[in-house]
């Protein structure tokens, strides 16, 4: 069941009377004691179980929580009602730029060309294929719009076709908890089997008999994938569990190798990965370890013909490339193909008959390197822009000299190319269209470098509209993330034009916790080094102020999820630096969450943040945890967003955070909470509806920046 709050609708802004005072949440002191330290959490009572949230009849605690959320939402909508027209204008702008009848670039796999398309005004994709030729008759294999009817939220996960091309497996999530039901569709008859798989990650791995699939089930408490099962289509026999991971720090899953020869189970924690393999011709056989799990070791594997290629950090912080026969996969058999380099981070590999394509990060930018295994020729694809990103696209065939890759920058829409690895000829297949016209020459993107307090270099990618660039300080939105080794690359987003065309500068701070300069950047921004992430972001903001690109009355900050923790930390540390900030689905109650293994996903995070059940980590996390470090001070204007069904950051974290901030709030700046009662971590589903919340965020920023239309 989903809780319905009519006040969520932004269209109701004009219908409600003005609410002058923010909500005042009830306090119910709750003791949290650890390592001889006692914290009092006045808002711990806001935490509900899934059973409470999903019950048909709300108990008293649930009703109390829902009522408080309703008050916060009403206050936000009332306080921002003067921006209603601006929100609607921005929303219409964002949606108008989206091509309504768009289609993806087809790719060839196992005799069929696959692609997806949108039809005008429909929210979801239609997945199609054509046999043998793009001139063949179109076959619709799945229409998401038909399946989504009647649901407030709808998401497809893990679509995969059987080797004989007759079956489609796909996952469905209608709650936004990222727990999927796997269904099977007969592509000959169009029928969907009555038998489905519940509580899964959404994807399956097909064996070569096209009747056996392997899938992953989730722990219902932690939501981590923990068990791998074998399932036979069309049989009523119980599924067979082939693996059970008992270490709760691991994410687990199963997939089919690109070569089709192996079913591969993966196990991944922050510092360690390993694999088990099974010949796909023998689905009833036993999986075997690729190599023993006996030390911290991160690697990935790619199979081709009779060997595996291994991208590994074994004695190589930034990774090196190895290979081994597929019959002798233990680490003692590995032979080096490409050595480790101190200044280049090897990210991933794509294997072709005669070529190896390496996606690597060099000078902070993702680049594509091609090695001809016949001639030894070794070269990079050249790009002209100062700041950009490139990546390997869909390449399902081995026996080809054509690489499909994608490219984007802050001013260049995502573009898909075919590249002849022999001749160097590049063919543009598609560039995402910005409906209504878009002239990239009107905009400027560049790379700047701030210096952090410890001397570390912090790259900043910025973009602005040339004719609106001011000689002195102007409104600037600084975005950051800085966790899990995820590097935020500078890519194009048409919705961002609604800021740029109103005179905002948009900037990305490439901070530690990501891997902009390789693995060291990540190590320097995690565990007991986490504060470097916050310092980098603050120092990037100060640099932009010192360069007179902006000032503290025009500087805004944005981050989501782990980036929301970033926002919570930096507004505690330097509240006067920012005019305003948006903390989206923020992970802000770091100590309490990381000390509780019953909260979904916590156990898999201990080697990212530290386990506060160990005192040194408790002390360090406590020293920056946004919820715990709230003080009586004048905070910047702050918008906090969340989703009631969020499985990544539970809704009560931002809810408690706002309630506690209200207790400490000084001055006249504004604090708002927007809780979406029909969504999870990623907000609303659908290609248009999701922009309602983006419009709210942009209107909040523009209003503070003195821009009213």
- Catalytic residue numbers read 561, 646, 681
Cα 166 from Cα 252, distance rounded (Å): 28
Residue 457's SS3 state is: strand
Neighbours of 51 (CB within 10 A): 9
User: Phi and psi of 109, rounded to 5°?
Assistant: -150, 120
Cα 252 from Cα 229, distance rounded (Å): 12
Q: Which residues pair with 369 in a beta bridge?
A: 358, 380
Residue 274's SS3 state is: strand
Structure tokens at 413: 């829409």
Structure tokens at 61: 């605690």
CA 180 to chain centroid: 17
Q: Report the half-sphere exposure of 216 (CA within 13 A, side-chain side).
A: 26
Neighbours of 325 (CB within 10 A): 11
Contact 176, 682 (CB under 8 A): yes
Q: Which residues pair with 461 in a beta bridge?
A: 447, 508
User: Phi and psi of 226, rounded to 5°?
Assistant: -130, -20
Structure tokens at 588: 């802000």
User: Phi and psi of 640, rounded to 5°?
Assistant: -115, 130
Contact 628, 588 (CB under 8 A): no
CA neighbor of 561 nearest in space, from 504, 612, 516, 601: 601
The terminus-to-terminus CA distance of the chain in angstroms comes to: 38
Contact 461, 508 (CB under 8 A): yes
DSSP letters for 67-86: HHHHHHHHHHHHHTGGGHHH
User: 581 to each of 73, 476, 578, 601, 668, how far by Cα in Å?
Assistant: 18, 11, 7, 27, 15
Q: Report the half-sphere exposure of 215 (CA within 13 A, side-chain side).
A: 30
Largest interatomic CA distance in the chain: 74
Cα 661 from Cα 635, distance rounded (Å): 9
Neighbours of 111 (CB within 10 A): 9
Q: Which residues pair with 627 in a beta bridge?
A: none
């Amino acid at each position: 069941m989903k809780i319905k709050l009519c006040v969520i609708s932004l269209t109701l802004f004009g219908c409600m009377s003005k609410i002058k005072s923010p909500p005042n949440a009830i306090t119910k002191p709750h003791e949290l004691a650890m390592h001889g330290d006692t914290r009092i959490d006045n808002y711990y009572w806001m935490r509900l179980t899934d059973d409470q949230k999903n019950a048909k009849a709300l108990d008293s605690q649930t009703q109390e929580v829902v009522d408080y959320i309703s008050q916060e939402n009403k206050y936000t909508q009332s306080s921002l009602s003067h921006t209603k027209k601006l929100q609607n204008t921005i929303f219409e702008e964002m949606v108008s730029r989206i091509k309504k009848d768009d289609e993806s670039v087809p790719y060839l796999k196992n005799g069929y060309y696959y692609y997806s398309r949108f039809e005008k005004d429909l929210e979801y994709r239609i997945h199609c294929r054509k046999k043998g030729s793009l001139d063949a008759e179109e076959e619709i294999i799945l229409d998401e719009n038909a399946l989504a009817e009647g649901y407030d939220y709808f998401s497809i996960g893990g679509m995969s076709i059987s080797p004989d091309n007759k079956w489609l497996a796909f996952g469905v999530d209608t709650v936004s908890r990222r727990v999927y039901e796997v269904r099977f569709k007969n592509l000959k008859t169009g029928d969907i089997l009555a038998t489905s798989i519940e509580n899964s990650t959404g994807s399956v791995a097909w064996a070569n008999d096209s009747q056996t699939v392997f899938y992953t089930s989730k722990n219902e408490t932690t939501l981590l994938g923990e068990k791998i099962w074998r399932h036979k289509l069309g049989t009523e026999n119980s599924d067979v569990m082939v693996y059970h991971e008992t270490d709760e720090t691991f994410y687990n899953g199963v997939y089919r190798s690109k070569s089709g020869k192996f079913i591969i189970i993966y196990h991944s924690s922050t510092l360690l990965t390993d694999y088990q393999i099974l010949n796909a011709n023998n689905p009833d056989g036993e999986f075997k370890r690729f190599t023993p799990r006996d030390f911290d070791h991160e690697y990935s594997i790619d199979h081709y013909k009779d060997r595996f290629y291994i991208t590994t950090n074994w004695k190589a912080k930034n990774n090196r490339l190895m290979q081994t026969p597929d019959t002798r996969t233990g680490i003692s058999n590995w032979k080096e193909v490409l050595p480790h380099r101190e200044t280049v981070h090897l990210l991933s590999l794509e294997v072709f008959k005669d070529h190896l394509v390496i996606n690597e990060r060099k000078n902070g930018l993702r680049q594509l390197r091609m090695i001809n295994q016949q001639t030894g020729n070794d070269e990079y694809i050249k790009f002209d822009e100062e700041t950009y990103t490139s990546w390997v696209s869909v390449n399902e065939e081995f026996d080809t000299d054509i690489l499909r890759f994608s490219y984007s920058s802050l001013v260049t829409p995502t573009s898909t190319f075919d590249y002849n690895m022999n001749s160097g000829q590049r063919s543009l297949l598609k560039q995402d269209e910005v409906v209504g016209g878009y002239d990239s020459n009107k905009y400027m993107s560049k790379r700047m470098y701030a210096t952090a307090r410890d001397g570390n270099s912090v790259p900043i990618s910025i973009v602005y509209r040339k004719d609106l660039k001011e000689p002195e300080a102007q409104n600037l939105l600084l975005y950051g993330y800085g966790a899990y080794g995820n590097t935020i690359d500078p890519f194009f987003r048409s919705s961002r034009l609604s800021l740029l065309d109103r005179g905002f500068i948009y900037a990305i701070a490439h901070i530690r916790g990501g891997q902009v300069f390789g693995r060291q950047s990540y190590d320097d921004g995690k565990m007991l080094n986490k504060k470097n992430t916050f310092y980098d972001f603050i120092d990037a903001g100060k640099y932009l102020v010192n360069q007179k690109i902006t000032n503290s009355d025009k500087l805004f900050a944005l981050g989501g999820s782990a980036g929301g923790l970033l926002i919570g930390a930096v507004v505690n540390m330097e509240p006067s630096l920012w005019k305003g900030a948006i903390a989206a689905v923020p992970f802000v109650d770091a100590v309490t969450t990381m000390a509780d293994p019953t909260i979904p996903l916590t156990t898999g995070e201990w080697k990212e943040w530290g386990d506060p059940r160990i005192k040194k980590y408790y002390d360090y996390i406590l020293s920056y945890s946004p919820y715990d470090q709230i003080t009586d001070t004048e905070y910047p204007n702050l918008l906090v967003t969340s989703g009631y069904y969020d499985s990544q950051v539970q809704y009560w974290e931002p809810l408690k955070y706002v309630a506690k901030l209200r207790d400490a709030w000084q001055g006249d700046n504004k604090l708002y909470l927007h809780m979406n009662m029909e969504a999870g971590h990623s907000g609303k589903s659908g290609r248009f509806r999701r922009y309602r919340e983006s419009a709210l965020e942009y209107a909040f920023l523009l209003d503070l920046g003195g821009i009213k239309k």
